[in-house]
Amino acid sequence: MKKIVDQRFTFLNLQHIKIAYIIQTLGVLLILGHDFLKGGLEKMKANSLWVLFILSSVVYGYLSLSISLEQEKEIKRPFRSFLLSLFVLLVIGSITAYLTSVTSGFN
């Protein structure tokens, strides 16, 4: 007997796995947040869920590396985006320098 594979069922199963992963991650974060509020950072890191959360984040990041989708059709000029990011960085640096210079008691 031949096994029937339907792409819709596969996609639906992946959506269910994604929802379960999101709920699991939120639960772990809530438990770790509760430990953080009750005992601080040391108690949170002592919980074994901390290791599970870090491990699952690393595995998810590693598996996401192989997924790529080309969305940009037009060729962007890298020099233009470099100048834009340099300008934004200079503005943020200037604002920070000004606010630091007008702070009372800071020489």
Collapsing DSSP to helix, strand or coil, 96 comes out as helix
Angle of CA points 62, 64, 82, to nearest 5°: 100
Interval 62-81: pLDDT, tens: 877 766 656 656 666 788 88
Give me the pLDDT at residue 91, please: 95
State whether the Cα torsion 49-52-53-54 is positive or negative. Answer: positive
Please give the model's pTM, rounded to 2 decimal places: 0.50
Which helix (H) or strand (E) covers residue 10, if one does? helix 7-39
Residue at token pair 């340099």: 86
Q: What is the CA radius of gyration of the chain?
A: 24
Tens of pLDDT, residue by residue over 28-58, are 889 988 988 998 888 888 888 888 888 888 8
Do 49 and 32 touch, CB atoms closer than 8 A?
yes
Mean pLDDT of 77-101: 89
